[in-house]
Amino acid sequence: MFPAKFEYYAPKSVKEAVTLLAKNKNAKILAGGHSLLPAMKLRLAEPSALVDVGKIKTLAGIKSAKSGTTIGALTTHATIAASDAIRNHCPAISEAAAAIGDWQVRNRGTIGGSLAHADPAADYPAVMLAVGAEFTAVGAKGARKIKAGDFFKGALTTALKPNEVLTQIKIPAHQPSSGCAYVKFAQPASRFAIVGVCAWVKLDANRNVEKASIGVTGACANATRARAAEKALEGKKPDDAAIKAAAAHSSDGMDCLSDIHASAEYRAHLVSVMTERAMKAAVERAK
Amino acid sequence: MATQIIGSTVKRREDPRLITGNGKYTDNMTLPHMAYMAILRSPHAHARIKSIDASKAKKLAGVLAVFTGKDLKDAGINPLPVGWLLPEIKIGPHPALAIDTVRYVGDGVAAVVAEDRATAKDALDLIDVDYEPLPANVDGEKATQGAPQVHAEAANNVAFYFKIGGGDADAALKSADGVIKQRILNQRLVPNAMEPRAAVAHYEPATGQFTLYNTNQNPHIIRVLFALTTGHPEHKTRVVAPDVGGGFGSKIYLYADEIVAYLASKTLGRPVKWTEERSENFKATTHGRDHISDVEVGYKKDGTITALKVKTWANQGAYLSTFAPLIPTFLYAPMLQGPYTIENVFCEVWGTYTNTTPVDAYRGAGRPEATYLLERAVDLVAGAVEMDPADVRKKNLIPAFKENYKTCMAYVYDSGDYPAELEKLLKMVDYPKLRREQQAARKQGKYIGIGLSTYVEITGAAPAQVAVSLGAGAALVESALVRVMPTGKVQVMTGSHSHGQGHETTFAQIVADQLGLNVEDVEVMHGDTDKVPFGAGTYGSRSQPVGGAAVYIATQRVIERGKKLATHMLEAAEADVVFEGGKYFVQGSPSKAVSFGEVALEAHWPRKVPADVELGLEASAFFNPANFTFPAGAHLAVVEVDPDTGKVDLTRYAAVDDVGKVINPMIVDGQLHGGVAQGVGQALWENTVYDENGQLLSGSFMDYAMPIASNLPLYENARIETPSPVNPLGAKGAGETGTIASTPAVANAVIDALKPFGVKHIDLPLTSEKVWRAMHSRVVK
Ligand SMILES: Cc1cc2nc3c(=O)[nH]c(=O)nc-3n(C[C@H](O)[C@H](O)[C@H](O)COP(=O)(O)OP(=O)(O)OC[C@H]3O[C@@H](n4cnc5c(N)ncnc54)[C@H](O)[C@@H]3O)c2cc1C
C-alpha cells in the first residue's frame, strides 16, 4: 500500500497545470484519486509527479444554458447525482452517477477522472455516447473539442494527449419528445458495470421512434454504440414487442469480454436485457 | 439492585472505544527505535528458487537487513508446526521463508527490514530472485490423480486420509427405496477480517525477553507454538493480542511472518513491525472450505433418510496450517448425521496438497461444509419423493432430548429440541401462506424460492475424553482468575480472547450477576500472557461454554471464600451463612447482613477475622468440559430470481436458534446477524478463483465479492433455550450458527425458485450467470 516516490504539484490554473505536465515526464493529473491512487498503491502506476487539479476552482461545477448543460471535469459523482439541473435535463447522467461505487467513491471521484481513465466498466461512457456529449481538452496549444464518439479508444485509452487536461463535459440541449435512461447490471464485488446501457430516444409526431442512440459499457474493451439495435428501433412504434426485437440486436458485432464474473455469452445476453430495460424507460420519458 | 444481569441486554462496553477510533490495534503500536519489515512473496504457484540476489536491496539507504529461508534455517528455526496430528499424516515441511521451492502465490521468499515501511517496500523490488517455474496443481481432487507433486513427503499429494462411519451405509443404500447421487462443491473462501494481520516483535538483548504483539485469537497457544518453533523459551516470551479487528479463524495460527519478525528483532536488537497489506492478506492468510464431495443418499418412499455415504477431497493448500487437519475430519465428517435420525453414515476424506494458499478453519470450520452438503441432500430427497422440504425434515428430525443423544458416529449431542425449532420457525413466517404466495407469483412469471436449513453444530472444544479419543492428544481448556479489590471492584482475567465477540461485556455480566454488582464494577482483561492465566483462545464458539464457564466457577469460588470471612464478621456458623443479592447473612435474617464490598475490605484490611483465616478475595478456576456443546436451529430464506438475468435477491431471512442459555441477547443476535451475512456471502457471491497455473484471480475486493448491508434484508430471529448440561452456565456456542445455517438455506431457496425449470442442484456460489444458465438449460460453468 505504499506508492513509489513521486513529486506533487498543486497548480491554481489549468494553464499552470498544462505547463507542469509538459515539464515533468511521466507526470499524471490527480483528480479524485479513486482510480489513480489505488493503481499507485499497488504499483501498477508509478508516475514521476502528480499534478493535482483539485485546487483549480474553475474546473468544478454545473452550468445550465439554452445550448445545453456544462459539467466541469472536477465535479464529483455525488454532486452530479444530487443535481436537479442534471436530473431535469438528462436523468441518465444522474442514474449513472448514483450507481457508481459507494458513497466514499462518489464523494471523491470526478466525472473528468472517470472519463479520462476510461475503465471498460465505468458508467458514464455509455451515457456520454448515447446523449452525444462533447468534451473540452486544454493542452499547450490551447483548447479543443472532442466528440464522445471519438473519445473512447480502448481499455484505459482515450483521445486525450498525455499533457492535456479534460476541462468540461457538455451535454447538448434537451430535444422535445426525447428521453434517456441508464440501466446497470453491477459486478457484485467492485460494483462497476458488468454491463451498463444508456438509451436515448426521440419520438416523432406519430409517437414513433425518430432517432435512437444506445451506449453500452462493460461489455467490451471500451464503451460503444449498439448501432444495430438503434437502427432496428428507428421508425418503429416503441411497444414492448418492438423494443424486445430491437434489443435482441444490441450486441450484434460486439466483441464481448469474458472474465471470472461473466462469460462473453452472458455479457452479450445482458446487453440485450439492459438495452430492453433502458429503451423502455427512455421511451416512457420521451412520451 | 443488580440481579439477573445474565440474560439481559447490556450494551457492548468495548464499542465506544472501538467505534470512536480509540481501539489499540497491533499496527497502532510504536516502540522506540522500531524498524519495519516487508515480505517478498512468490509470484509463482510452484517454482524452484535457483538464486536470490539481495545485494542491491541491501545497498538501498535505510535498509537494515535482508533475510532468506537459509538465514532462518541457520538460526535453528523449525518449520511451522502442525497442531493436529492424524495417524499417518504426511507433513510437507513449511519453512517460514521458502528454501529451494515456492509452493503457492504468496509464499514468503525474503524479508527486508528497514528504517521505515516505504523503504522496506521499495527494497523488495530490488531483490532478484531467479525462479524456474514448475507445473502447478490447484484442484483438491485432481491433486491425487497424477498432478504435480507439491511435497516429496506426500505421495499423490495426499496429506491425510480419514474415515468414519456408523451403521452400515452400503447395506442401507442397497435396501433403500431410492438413492440419489450428487457431486457437491463447497467453494474456497477468503476470511477477510476487517483488520489484516500485523506483528510487532520485540527482543530485548539485555534480558533475552521477547514480546510478540500480534493479531491473534489465542495468545497462550501462540506462545507455546512460537516457543516450539523458534526454540525461544516459553517463560521468556510474552504474547499480546491487543484489540484485534476480527479473525473468523484466520488468526488462530502461528504464521511465518511473526517468526521472521522475531529473528529480525533478535538479529538487529530493535523492535520490528510488520503489517500485512490487504492484497497480501488475500494470498498469505489462510483460506477456508474448498471441498469436493460425492454424495449418495438413500431414502424410503415416505421421505425417511436411511443412509448417507460421502467421499470428500479437502484441498489443504500448499502446506498444512496449524489446525488444518482437524477441520475436514472431526469438525466435518462426524457431523454429517446432522439433526436427523439417519442411522447409516459413512464418510471418507482425503486432505490434499495443492499449489494454493493454505486452508484452515474459517467461521464454522467443517460444520458449514457438513451442513450445506446434508441440507442439499435433504432437499434432493424431498424433490425425489415429491414432499415439501419442511415435511421431510419433520420426518427425520431427532425428537427432543434433555441430555446425551448418541449419534451413529463419534459424538453425543448434549441437549436439544430440533422439532420445536422448526415448528417455531414455520409459525413465525406463516409457512403455508408463503408457499401459497410462491404459487401465485409463479403464475405471474415471478420466481420466488423458499429454502430451509435445519442444523446442529458442535462447539465448546474440547473435552479431554472425546478429544483424545479423536486424535487431538489433549483437551482444550480455559481458565479464569476473578480478583476482588479492597473497594469491592472486580478484575476478571480470562485466557479466552475477544476480537469482536464482546467478552468484556458478557464475562462481566456473569460476574456481576453472581456477585450482585453492577457491570461497571467488573473489568475484564484478556489478550496478554503476562496478565491473564492460561487459555486455549477463542474459536469454534468455545468462549462462553468453556471460558465463560471458567469465569462462572471462579466467581463461585470467590463467593465461597468470601463466606468464610463473612462468617467471622457475622459471628455466625459458616453453615448458616448464605449469599444473596450481593449480601452475606444468616439464613432467615437478611436485615443483619454484610455487603460484598464490606467483605472485600475485610479481606484486605482485616479487623474481625482471626489470623488463621486466609485473606485476599480472589479465586481461579480451570474448566475442562466433559463434552462438547451442540447448538442447533432452523433457518429459512426467501429469494426472488430475475428470470432475465439470473440475479438473486434475498428478500427475507428468518431464524430460530438454540444456543443454550443466553448471557446477552443483543450480542447473540449480533453474532447471528454477522454470521448470516457471511453465509449468504458464500451462497451468492464469494468465490476464490485460481487459474490452472495457480494465479489467484480473485485477489482483491474488486473481484472478491463480500456481502454488504444493502444486499441483505432485515433478519427475523427468535430462540428456544435448551440449557446445556455440559457446563454450569448452560451455554452453548453462538458464534457460528448463522454462517453454518444460512448458506444452505439460501442455496435451497434459489434452487426451489428454479423448480419450474427442472433444476435440482447448482454449485456455490449461485452467481447470476450460473442461475441464468441453469434456467435456460445452458451448460453451467
Ligand atoms: C471502490 C471503487 C468502486 C468504483 N465503482 C465504480 C463504478 O461502479 N462505476 C464507475 O464508473 N467507476 C467506479 N469507480 C471509479 C471511480 O468512478 C473513479 O473515481 C473514477 O474512475 C476516476 O475519477 P477520479 O476523479 O477519482 O480520478 P483519478 O483517480 O484522480 O484519475 C484517474 C485518471 O484520470 C486522469 N485524470 C483525472 N482527471 C483528469 C482530467 N481532468 N483531465 C485529464 N486526465 C485526468 C488521471 O491522470 C488518471 O490517469 C470506482 C472506484 C472505486 C475505488
What radius of gyration, in Å, describes the C-alpha atoms of chain A?
19
Q: Domain A179-286's class? A: alpha beta
Substitution target from B644, B704, B771, B780 for chain A, most A beta carbons within 10 A: B644
Cβ pair A273:B689 closer than 8 A:
no
What's residue B26's pLDDT?
Answer: 98
Q: What does the pLDDT read at residue B85?
A: 87
Establish how many alpha carbons lie within 13 A of residue A60's alpha carbon, considering only the half-sphere containing its beta carbon. Answer: 18
**B29-64 pLDDT, tens digit each:** 999 999 999 999 999 999 999 999 999 999 999 999
The CATH number of B288-461+627-775 is which of 3.30.365.10, 3.40.930.10, 2.70.150.10, 1.10.10.10?
3.30.365.10
User: pLDDT at residue B3 above 60?
Assistant: no
* pLDDT value for B4: 84
Pocket test for ligand 1, best of A57, A95, A114 (most atoms within 8 A of CB): A114
Q: What is the CA radius of gyration of chain B?
A: 27
The candidate with the shortest Cα–Cα distance to B353, out of B73, B51, B143, is: B143
- Length of chain B in residues, anyone? 781
Q: How many A from CA of A114 to the centre of ligand 1?
A: 4
Ligand 1 centroid from CA B516, angstroms = 58
Average pLDDT over residues B736-758: 97
- Are B702 and A190 in contact (CB < 8 Å)? yes
For residue range A179-232, what is the model confidence (pLDDT) as tens digits?
A: 999 999 999 999 999 999 999 999 999 999 999 999 999 999 999 999 999 999
> What CATH code would you report for A60-172?
3.30.465.10
Shortest distance, CA B689 to any CA of chain A (angstroms): 8
Q: Over pLDDT 90: what percentage of chain B?
A: 96
Contact B697 A262 (CB under 8 A): no
Q: Which residues of B touch A189 (CB under 8 A)?
A: 685, 698, 701-706
- The confidence score (pLDDT) of residue B2 equals 42
**Positive or negative torsion for Cα B321, B696, A99, A2:** positive
Region of residue B306 (left: phi > 0; alpha: psi -120 to 50; beta: else): alpha
User: Among partner residues A43, A190, A273, which is closest to B645 by beta-carbon distance?
Assistant: A273
Is residue B19 within a helix (H) or strand (E), and if so which, with residue range?
helix B15-19
Regarding an ipTM greater than 0.85, the answer is yes
Rounded to the nearest angstrom, the distance between the alpha carbon of A113 and the centre of ligand 1 is: 4
Q: What is the CATH number of domain B31-134+194-246+251-284?
A: 3.90.1170.50
pLDDT classification of B778: cutoffs 50, 70, 90: low
pLDDT at B652: 98
Residue whose Cα lies nearest atom 28 of ligand 1: it is A33
Q: Do B701 and A1 touch (CB under 8 A)?
A: no
pLDDT for the residue A2: 83
Instruction: Kindly list the residues of chain A whose beta carbon comes within 8 Å of any beta carbon in chain B.
Output: 1-2, 4-5, 42-43, 185, 187-190, 192, 260-263, 265-266, 269-270, 273
DSSP symbols for B568-607: HHHT--GGGEEEETTEEEETT-TTSEEEHHHHHHHHHS-S
Q: Is the pLDDT of residue B674 over 80?
A: yes
Q: How far is the CA of B219 from the centre of ligand 1 (A)?
A: 43
For residue B552, give the C-alpha cell.
Answer: 462462572
Mean pLDDT of B270-289: 97
Q: Nearest residue CA, atom 36 of ligand 1?
A: A113
Which grid cell sits at A61?
461545477
The pLDDT of residue B1 is above 50: no
Which fold is adopted by the domain B2-17+478-623? Aldehyde Oxidoreductase; domain 4 (3.30.365)
Residue A169 CA to ligand 1 center (angstroms) comes to 15
Sign of CA dihedral B113, B116, B121, B127: negative
Lowest mean pLDDT segment, chosen from A128-142, B513-527, B766-780: B766-780
Average pLDDT over residues B586-609: 95
Where exactly does CATH 3.90.1170.50 map onto chain B? Answer: 31-134+194-246+251-284
Write the burial class of residue B31 (CB in 10 Å: 0-12 exposed, 13-18 middle, 19+ buried).
middle
Q: Can you give the pLDDT at residue B473?
A: 66
Determine the Cα–Cα distance for residues B727 and B624; give it in Å rounded to an integer.
Answer: 9
In B32-116, beta strands by DSSP E: 35-41, 47-53, 63-68, 101-102, 108-114
A185, A260, A262 member nearest B697 (Cβ): A260
How far A256 CA sits from the closest chain B CA (Å)?
A: 15
Instruction: Give the residue from chain B lying closest to A273, CA to CA.
Output: B644
In chain B, CATH 3.30.365.10 covers 2-17+478-623, 288-461+627-775
CA–CA dist B163, B176 (Å, integer): 23
Residue A248 above 90 pLDDT?
yes
Query: Which chain B residue has the Cα nearest residue A259?
Result: B697
Confidence band of B467 (pLDDT split at 50, 70, 90): confident
Q: Give nearest CA residue, ligand 1 atom 32.
A: A113
Q: Mean pLDDT for chain B?
A: 96
pLDDT of residue B321: 97
pTM: 0.97
B471: left (phi over 0), alpha (psi -120 to 50) or beta: left
Q: 3-class SS at B348?
A: strand
Give the pLDDT mean for A162-171. 96
Q: Is the pLDDT of residue B641 over 70?
A: yes
- Residue B658 dihedral angles phi and psi, to the nearest 5°: -120, 105
pLDDT tens figures, A22-70:
999 999 999 999 999 999 998 899 999 999 999 999 999 999 999 999 9
CB B315 within 8 A of CB B406: no
B311 three-class SS: strand
Beta strands in B124-177, from DSSP E residues, in sequence order: 128-133, 158-166
Q: How far is B185 from chain A (nearest CA, A)?
A: 17
Q: Which three cell numbers stand for residue A67?
A: 445550448
B35, β-bridge pairs: B272
Mean pLDDT of A254-280: 97
| CATH number of A7-52, picked from 3.30.300.30, 1.10.3720.10, 3.30.43.10, 3.10.20.30 | 3.30.43.10
Q: How far is the centre of ligand 1, averaged over its atoms, from the C-alpha of B364 (Å)?
A: 39
Burial class of residue B692 (count of CB atoms within 10 Å of its CB; 0-12, 13-18, 19+):
exposed
Which cell numbers in the block locate residue B587? 439464613
Residue closest to B456 by CA, chosen among B637, B635, B302 = B635
Element at B345 (helix H, strand E): strand B344-353
Q: Determine whether the interchain pair B644/A273 forms a contact, defined as Cβ–Cβ distance below 8 Å.
A: yes
pLDDT of residue B474: 74
The string of pLDDT tens digits covering residues B61-80 is: 999 999 999 999 999 999 99
Residue nearest to atom 41 of ligand 1 (CA): A166
> Does the pLDDT value for residue B604 go beyond 80?
yes
**What pLDDT score was predicted for residue B780?**
57
A-chain CB neighbours of B768 within 8 Å are 185, 266
Question: What single DSSP character describes residue B779?
Answer: P
Q: How big is the CA angle at B44 (ends B40 and B46), to the nearest 5 degrees?
A: 120
Residues of A in contact with B644 (CB under 8 A): 273
CB A258 within 8 A of CB A267: yes
DSSP string computed for B495-510 = SS--SSS-HHHHHHHH
How far does the centroid of ligand 1 lie from the alpha carbon of residue A181, in Å? 22
Instruction: Report the pocket of ligand 1 as residue ranges, CB < 6 Å.
Output: A 28-36, 38, 53, 73, 100-101, 105, 109-110, 112-114, 116-117, 119, 122-123, 160, 165-166, 190-192
CA distance to B180, B184, B305, per residue, from B296 (Å): 6, 11, 11
pLDDT value of residue A97? 98
- Number of Cβ pairs closer than 8 Å across A and B? 50
Q: Which of A44, A183, A266, A279 to mutate to test the interface with B (most CBs of B within 10 A)?
A: A266
CA-wise closest residue to B752 among B457, B392, B421: B392
Nearest CA in chain A to B702: A190
Q: Kindly report, residue by residue over B320-341, the tens digit of the pLDDT.
A: 999 999 999 999 999 999 999 9
- With contacts defined as CB-CB under 8 Å, which chain B residues touch A265? 778
Q: What residues of chain A lie within 8 A of the CB of B772, using their CB?
A: 266, 269
Give the Cα separation of B674 and B654 in Å (integer): 14
Residues 6+ apart with CB under 8 A from B116: B36, B62
In a mutational test of the pocket of ligand 1, which residue from A44, A48, A100 has the highest number of ligand atoms less than 8 Å from its CB?
A100
Can you give the residue ranges of every domain in chain A? 7-52, 60-172, 179-286
